[in-house]
Amino acid sequence: MAASGLVPSNRPGDGTVAILGAGSLGRLWAGYLPAGTALFVPRTDSPDQSRYPVSYQLLCPDDTERPVTVAWFDPACQLPDLLLVTTKAQDTLAALETVMPMLPEHTPVVLFQNGMGSQQAVAARWPDRPVLAASTTEGANRPAADITVHAGRGQTWLGALTASANPVITKVTETLASTGLEVIPTAAILQRLWDKLIINAGINPFTALLDCPNGDLLTAPLFLEHIDALCREISQLLEAEKLPTASPQALRQRIEQVATATASNTSSMRADVQHGRATEIDYINGFMVSRGARLGLPMPVNQMLTEQVKQLSTNYGR
Ligand code: PAF
């Protein structure tokens, strides 16, 4: 079903993957998908954007380079088999409001957002569509407009958020695994999203506030002063949410392990602040504050980090 009634230029089932969000993660997936199968979805707020294809070099962890060229998706003449959504958490719902009407109702949508809240909002908005969430530890950054760096190999877990996504998980996994990246279907995607949320809550705001790479946290007074109280808040929240619990000490250990393993990385939140972009703080520590408020649990450290990061973004924006 093409929106304008024109005949699509591709055939359903040929593996065409539309990607909404041409940032580091979108470019990473586009670069590894079989040549010609990825298409970026143009943003409605930049109409000139779709004139030229997007070209860049993908620098791979094995020190090889791939030249990548990605054309733009035209809903009037293409039918994607899959939509990957790699926008920032705060942009996701609004971006999908314009894209969803262009897609056949059975097209699976995979959400790659950091944090929590945006995925649930999309699933609640389109409960009859096949909506999946992905949690990935693939590391990507974009040091220049025409360079995307695959900073480290990771894994991507994929799970259904709506009932109609269950029958398509195997097919979506196969399509994403055609990249050569490791993709693992799971029935416990919410647990995976919480696990990553905890890591992001313990690393991202501190690295943004201190303007430091992840590893420098471990000796930073701000981190050392607040990390135990932060982990106590998170541990209580997990218990109140009836999720698998972990002691504050175990949570701190997990956070410190990831900060050590990614010592030289710039976190996504630090990068957002450095580039004057809005951060995902409302979907990370801010999400914990709002969940705590619903459950009657005060979250003073999460609240303080949320407010300070917002203040930081305001200051950079000036
Ligand atoms: O958001 C990020 O940057 C990453 O998830 C993490 C784990 C903090 C590593 O940089």
Beta carbon of 179 within 6 Å of any ligand 1 atom: no
Q: Per-residue pLDDT tens for 36-51?
A: 999 999 877 665 566 7
Output the residue whose Cα is nearest ligand 1's atom 9.
Answer: 267
Q: Hey, where are the domains in the chain?
A: 17-187, 191-316
Nearest-atom number in ligand 1 for the CA of 114 is 1
Q: Within a 13 Å sphere around the CA of 237, how many CA atoms are in the beta-carbon half?
A: 27
Q: Separation of 112 CA from ligand 1 center, angstroms?
A: 13
Output the residue whose Cα is nearest ligand 1's atom 5.
Answer: 200
For the cut 90, the answer to whether the pLDDT of residue 52 exceeds it is: no
Beta carbon of 24 within 6 Å of any ligand 1 atom: no
For the cut 60, the answer to whether the pLDDT of residue 3 exceeds it is: no
Output the residue whose Cα is nearest ligand 1's atom 1.
Answer: 268
Q: Separation of 247 CA from ligand 1 center, angstroms?
A: 22
Q: Per-residue pLDDT tens for 163-219?
A: 999 999 999 999 999 999 999 999 999 999 999 999 999 999 999 999 999 999 999
**pLDDT at res. 4:** 40
Beta carbon of 200 within 6 Å of any ligand 1 atom: yes
CA–CA separation, 25 and 150 (whole Å): 9
Q: Grade residue 1 by pLDDT with cuts at 50, 70 and 90.
A: very low
Query: Is domain 17-187 in CATH 3.40.50.1370, yes or no?
Result: no
**Per CATH, the architecture of 191-316 is what?**
Orthogonal Bundle (1.10)
What is the ipTM score, two decimals?
0.94
Catalytic residues: 196
As a three-state string, the secondary structure of the chain is CCCCCCCCCCCCCCCCEEEECCCHHHHHHHHHCCCCCEEECCCCCCHHHHHCCEEEEEECCCCCEEEEEEEECCCCCCCCCEEEECCCHHHHHHHHHHHHHHCCCCCCEEECCCCCCHHHHHHHHCCCCCEEEEEECCEEEEEECCEEEEEECCEEEEEECCHHHHHHHHHHHHHHHCCCCEEEECCCHHHHHHHHHHHHHHHHHHHHHHCCCHHHHHHCHHHHHHHHHHHHHHHHHHHHCCCCCCCHHHHHHHHHHHHHHCCCCCCHHHHHHHCCCCCCHHHCHHHHHHHHHHHCCCCHHHHHHHHHHHHHHHHHHC
For the cut 50, the answer to whether the pLDDT of residue 98 exceeds it is: yes
Taking all residues of the chain, what is their mean pLDDT, rounded to a whole number?
92
Nearest-atom number in ligand 1 for the CA of 265 is 10
Tell me the mean pLDDT in the region 88-97. 96
Beta carbon of 268 within 6 Å of any ligand 1 atom: yes
Please choose from 197, 199, 269 the residue to mutate so as to test ligand 1's pocket, defined by most ligand atoms within 8 A of CB.
Answer: 199
Total Cβ atoms within 10 A of residue 127 = 12
